[in-house]
Structure 1
Amino acid sequence: MKLSGLWVALLTPFEPDGAVDHGALRALVEDLVPRGVDGLVPLGSTGEFTELDADERAAVLRTVVQAAAGRVPVLAGVSDLSTRATCRNAVEAARAGADAVLVLPPLYWKLPDDGVFAHFTAVADATALPVVAYDFPALTGQPLSPALLGRLAAEEPRVIGVKLTVRDLDVVRKALAATRASRPDFSIVTGFEDLIPAAVWAGADGGISGLANVVPDELVAMVAALRAGRPDVAASIREVLRHFDAYDLTVPAIPGLKAVAAAVGRIPRATARLGSGASEATVVAAAARWVTRHQALVEPERVLAGQSARTP
């Protein structure tokens, strides 16, 4: 499996009572796959994986794999507090039919590079699935150093790449320099859409996008234009960046992003387990104002579908 292009960090839709809405999750996958996304990433940060128990995680993954039906690969988030729990999740991901696993460093203790290396190799030992390392230092407090990434690339062929959810392009540059000499096939993707263009121009392979739950067509088009070096790429980048303020509606960003996805009809409702300090009604109202500002950017029939599907 090659991690490249535009992958979607899937939202996890919920019923009004907070249970996982598997019908809505299947519909989201069915909506996204024909639009040309290169892969699906359930149970990541955008999917509120920290708010799901083990049974719910397994059920979410089964739904996504079944809905994808082999049309695109599924990269399953398996991160947890400990290496042992992460390995257990990786085994479940393999049973569910995932194509690879996405792995943060352990989420409580801060380990030296040797300890983090051992964490990734333990996950690789637990399952035959390829491993993608996940660097999100703003949340983990544990950046994956260039030296660590270089060691993974050189010594651990089962680790096939890294997702860099970082704000600094220099981190991408250093990761490329550390890995590509020994592993030209080592994939590097970014987790922030506004960094995808510069990262791809620097030599990275694409991005894993939460915003693609809302505007997949624009993101697929942007990444295709970047990879092809087309002259219309600047306009495509501007089109994507006009949507980036969807992340500003709440802190953390996921409840607001979910409300925007509901407002444009990608999912039935804005219900989130991850709290932002604002009521769901307040977040839904903010998302409605976002849609008003971006009216030309969404399909009118989707907006109407979203409005009719939302619960009060």
Structure 2
Amino acid sequence: MRLAGLWPALLTPLHDDLSVDDRALRALVEDLISRGVDGVVPLGSTGEFTEFDATERRAILDTVVGAADGRVPVLAGVSGLSTRETCVHAAQAREAGADAVLVLPPLYWKVSDDRIVDHVAQVADAAGLPVVVYDFPALTMQPLTPAVLARLASEVPAVIGAKLTVRDLMAITAALTAVRVHRPDFAVVTGFEDLVVGAMWAGADGAVSGMANVIPDEMVALVAAVRDNNDDLAERYRTVLDAFDVYGLSLPAIPGLKAAAAAIGRIPRAAARLNAGPATEVAEAGKRWAAEHATTADARGTTERDDTA
């Protein structure tokens, strides 16, 4: 599996009772594949992975793998509080038919670099699949430093790449320098859409994008424009930057992103397990965003719009 291009970090659509809406999830995957994405990523941060138990997580993976049906690879988020828990999720991802796993460092406790490397190696053994490590220091408070990434690239062959959700472009260039000396094929992708152009110009391979849930065509086109040096690159980039405020609709960001997706019909409703305040306020914020970005947001949604969300 090659981690490159545009990979949507999937929202997990829910019913009003907060159970998983399998039908809407299948429809979302089907729609995104039809837009030309290179892979899909369930149970990442955008998918609210922290809010689902092991049984629910397995069911979500079964749905996504079934919907993808081998047309694009599935990179399954398997992160957990402990190495033991993460290994259970990793084994389930293999059983569900995922193509690779995405893993954060151990959560909650501050640990040493040796412990991070050991954690990833144990998860790789449990999964028996390629591993993509996931750096999101704003939430984990545990950055994957260039030194750690270099060790993972050189010491754990199953690790094929890194998703870097970092605000500093220099962190991405430092990571590229650290890993490519050991593994020229080691993939690096950004998790923030506003860094796609700079990261790919520096040598990164693409993006895992939460915004692809609401502006899929624009994200696919932006990555292609950078890769192919298209004449419309600047216009594509401005469009994506203009839509980046979707992450500011709520705190945490995912309920607001879901509200925007529901407002344009990408998912049936804005229901989220993460608590970002009164649901009606979040829904209204999503509707305002959709109205302000009517020329950009893709309203050819996967479902009929649910204005009661």
What TM bracket, shorter-length normalisation? over 0.9
Q: Return the alpha-carbon distance in structure 1 between the equivalents of residues 83 and 283 of structure 2.
A: 37
Q: Return the alpha-carbon distance in structure 2 between the equivalents of residues 35 and 299 of structure 1.
A: 11
* 1:112 paired to 2:106: no
Return 5+ residue gaps in structure 2 as ranges: none
Matches for 1:1-312 after TM superposition, within 5 Å: 1-277=1-277, 279-299=278-298, 302=301, 305-306=304-305, 309-312=306-309
Q: Return the alpha-carbon distance in structure 2 between the equivalents of residues 296 and 127 of structure 1.
A: 42
RMSD of the alignment, in Å?
Answer: 1.3
* Deviation of the 1:261 alpha carbon: 0.4
| Amino acid corresponding to residue 286 of structure 1 in structure 2 | A
Q: Return the alpha-carbon distance in structure 2 between the equivalents of residues 48 and 41 of structure 1.
A: 12
Give the structure-2-normalised TM-score.
Answer: 0.98
Aligned residues: 309
Would the aligned equivalents of 2:252 and 2:276 in 1 still touch at CA under 8 Å?
yes
* Deviation of the 1:310 alpha carbon: 3.7
Q: Return the alpha-carbon distance in structure 2 between the equivalents of residues 53 and 80 of structure 1.
A: 10
1:274-311 Cα deviation digits (max 9, x unpaired): 0112x1111111111111111112355549932xx243
* Alpha carbons of structure 1 residues 303 and 177: separation in structure 2 relative to 1, 3 Å: closer
Would the aligned equivalents of 1:264 and 1:303 in 2 still touch at CA under 8 Å?
no
Q: Return the alpha-carbon distance in structure 1 between the equivalents of residues 136 and 206 of structure 2.
A: 16
1:213-242 Cα deviation digits (max 9, x unpaired): 000000000000100112221111111111
* Deviation of the 1:127 alpha carbon: 2.3
| Amino acid corresponding to residue 297 of structure 1 in structure 2 | T
Would the aligned equivalents of 2:216 and 2:298 in 1 still touch at CA under 8 Å?
no
1:74-119 Cα deviation digits (max 9, x unpaired): 0000000000110110000000000000000010211111110000
| Amino acid corresponding to residue 88 of structure 1 in structure 2 | V
Return 5+ residue gaps in structure 1 as ranges: none
Q: Return the alpha-carbon distance in structure 2 between the equivalents of residues 204 and 75 of structure 1.
A: 18
Would the aligned equivalents of 1:163 and 1:190 in 2 still touch at CA under 8 Å?
yes
Would the aligned equivalents of 1:100 and 1:132 in 2 still touch at CA under 8 Å?
yes
Q: Return the alpha-carbon distance in structure 2 between the equivalents of residues 206 and 88 of structure 1.
A: 29
* Alpha carbons of structure 1 residues 201 and 10: separation in structure 2 relative to 1, 3 Å: same
Give the structure-1-normalised TM-score.
Answer: 0.97
Q: Return the alpha-carbon distance in structure 1 between the equivalents of residues 272 and 303 of structure 2.
A: 21
* Alpha carbons of structure 1 residues 293 and 151: separation in structure 2 relative to 1, 3 Å: same
Q: Return the alpha-carbon distance in structure 2 between the equivalents of residues 287 and 6 of structure 1.
A: 24
| Amino acid corresponding to residue 287 of structure 1 in structure 2 | G
